[in-house]
Amino acid sequence: MSVCGAARCRWILTRGAVSLRVLQQNRAVCTTGAPESIREKLQAFPGGSIDLQKRQESGIAVLTVNNPARMNAFSGCMMLELEQRVHELESWTEGKAVIVKGAAGNFCSGSDLNAVRAIANPQDGMRMCRLPLISVALVEGRALGGGAELTTACDFRLMTSDGVIQFVHKHMGLVPGWGGLVGIVGSQNALKLLSGAVKVDPDCGRQMGLVDEVLLCSSGEGETLTHTEQWLRPFIKAPAPVIQALKKVVVSGRELPLEQALKTERNVFGTVWGGPANLKALALKPKHK
């Protein structure tokens, strides 16, 4: 069985051991480190992988949830591997964006319940912090339960014409632990999606604001990634430090109290003012001096 909980993979590693730092030095990063007992339990459930490809020339990374035999459900080992991949992306200074996708024409069907059952309890859980990169979920096929939560952890969601997002948590006696859905679609729509376990197709997703763009292709056609990169390019047409600074400002405004968010915004401004990108822009456009 494999549903629900993929987005919680970072939480499950904890029970107090994964801690979210307040935005310090203008960075939204996590301090992680699962106890060995938790890691041993997760390692007892092998299978699949989390593949990461970083494209230096474009600044776009592709993170692939790869476990086709189980519709890309997270195994215990994959949960640990995702933690490592996120750390890599957090420290990628040349990075601008990351595309999150599933292998073989499906997004993600959540987590292997056997792994979750071995380690999870209702007290576990702390939200994974946002990466300093623009993130896009490429939803091909089905995104179920925790896989649906994983899409809401991203800044944008693109869906193929035959894609489906479904929050099936109530069928497992669970609720989402991420908290991002209400902010994206509003409380009324969120209640409909969760209580009705509604199958969200592309049209429904666009109407609710859950889906930012519908790709004119089907799952597994091979061109979905190219279309996603093309859609993403206008949003990352700037040097990596500028894109990361913009993302940090947005994260601080969303996550922090107003006074702290304004302070963070001023600090981030100080990191780019007088920097290479700023000086180049001023040199090219003297009227803005």
Q: Quick one: pLDDT at residue 262?
A: 85
Higher pLDDT, residue 200 or 277: 200
Average pLDDT over the chain, rounded to whole? 82
Higher pLDDT, residue 38 or 178: 38
Asked if the model's pLDDT at residue 124 lies above 80, the reply is: no
Share of the chain above pLDDT 90, in %: 52
SS (H, E, C) the chain: CECCCHHHHHHHCCCCCCEECCCECCECCEECCCCHHHHHHHHCCCCCEEEEEEECCCCEEEEEEECHHHCCCECHHHHHHHHHHHHHHHCCCCCCEEEEEECCCCCECCEEHHHHHHHCCCCCCCCCCCCCCEEEEEECCEEECHHHHHHHCCCEEEEECCCEEECCHHHHCCCCCCCCHHHHHCHHHHHHHHHHCCEECHHHHHHHCCCCEEECCCCCCCCHHHHHHHHHHHHHCCCHHHHHHHHHHHHHHHHCCHHHHHHHHHHHHHHHCCCHHHHHHHHHCHHHC
Asked if the model's pLDDT at residue 237 lies above 90, the reply is: yes
Range ranked top by mean pLDDT from 40-49, 71-80, 160-169: 160-169
Q: Quick one: pLDDT at residue 179?
A: 63
